[in-house]
């Protein structure tokens, strides 16, 4: 299967375009204690419908090492229930990658995505305020692919991200035979 991957960026905090308020109340909280269990849960809960399989074989140690790189995890909750999340990864050159971003199935279509993306992109821009050893962010970037939800690319553009590269069949985008979903056999749901 052909998979297209788009790489998008912002190069100034002024690039961030505000979103409309969500239709549901959201509390967005940083998970300040690195937790492989939490991040694996969020990865599978959000990515199961979109063929996120790359990290499914990771061991607890691999998740721990990933988070130990300074990854910030921001979780959106509605009435105490996770609605979505983002992982912000500080990188060399004053860049921050939004490495994972998405909503759980029930939160899609309620305006939560735009609000969460705006909030987390702003947190990428002000990351140095929480980590004084880092220089101020000069670039925020992410990627999405044709396996992700159909609203992903337009949502990123609506928040002010610009495409800077497009690639076909990036290694790791294809299903590697690992069952997607939050548990074995869950598989992708048909979204209505």
Half-sphere exposure of 4 (CA within 13 A, CB side): 9
Angle in degrees, CA 7, 11, 13, rounded to 5: 120
Residue 156 in contact with residue 16, Cβ under 8 Å?
Answer: no
- The full length of the chain comes to 192
φ, ψ dihedrals at 104, nearest 5°: -75, 160
The residue to which tokens 């909280």 are assigned: 29
Asked whether the whole model's pTM tops 0.75, one would answer yes
pLDDT digits (tens, 9 = 90+) for 21-38: 999 999 999 999 999 999
Rounded Cα gap, residues 118 and 112, in angstroms: 10
- Which residues share a beta bridge with 96? 90, 140
Rounded Cα gap, residues 139 and 160, in angstroms: 13
* CATH of 4-168 given 3.30.365.10, 3.40.630.30, 3.40.50.10190, 3.40.140.80: 3.40.630.30
Per-residue pLDDT tens digits of the chain, which is 192 residues long? 788 999 999 999 999 999 999 999 999 999 999 999 999 999 999 988 888 888 988 999 999 999 999 999 999 999 999 999 999 999 999 999 999 999 999 999 999 999 999 999 999 999 999 998 999 999 999 999 988 888 899 999 999 999 999 999 865 544 444 445 555 545 454 443
What is the average pLDDT value for the chain, to the nearest integer? 89
pLDDT digits (tens, 9 = 90+) for 100-123: 999 999 999 999 999 999 999 999
Q: 117, exposed or middle or buried, with CB in 10 Å at 0-12, 13-18, 19+?
A: buried
Residue ranges covered by each domain of the chain: 4-168
- Reported as type and span, the H/E element at residue 156 is helix 152-158
Evaluate the CA torsion angle 166, 155, 85, 29 in order and state its sign: positive
Max Cα-Cα span within the chain: 46
Rounded Cα gap, residues 182 and 16, in angstroms: 32
């Amino acid at each position: 299967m052909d998979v297209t991957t788009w790489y998008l960026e912002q190069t100034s905090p002024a690039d961030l375009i505000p979103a409309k308020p969500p239709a549901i109340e959201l509390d967005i909280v940083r998970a300040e204690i690195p937790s492989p269990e939490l991040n694996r849960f969020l990865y599978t809960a959000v990515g199961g419908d979109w063929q996120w399989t790359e990290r499914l074989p990771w061991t607890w140690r691999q998740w721990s090492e990933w988070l130990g790189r300074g990854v910030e995890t921001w979780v959106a909750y509605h009435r105490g229930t996770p609605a979505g999340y983002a992982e912000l990864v500080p990188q060399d050159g004053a860049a921050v990658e939004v490495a994972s971003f998405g909503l759980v199935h029930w939160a899609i279509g309620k305006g939560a995505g735009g609000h969460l993306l705006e909030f987390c992109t702003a947190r990428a821009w002000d990351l140095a305020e929480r980590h004084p050893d880092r220089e101020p962010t000069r670039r925020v970037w992410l990627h999405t692919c044709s396996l992700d939800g159909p609203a992903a690319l337009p949502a990123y553009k609506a928040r002010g991200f610009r495409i800077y590269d497009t690639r076909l069949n990036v290694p790791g985008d294809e299903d590697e035979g690992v069952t997607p979903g939050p548990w074995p056999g869950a598989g992708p749901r048909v979204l209505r």
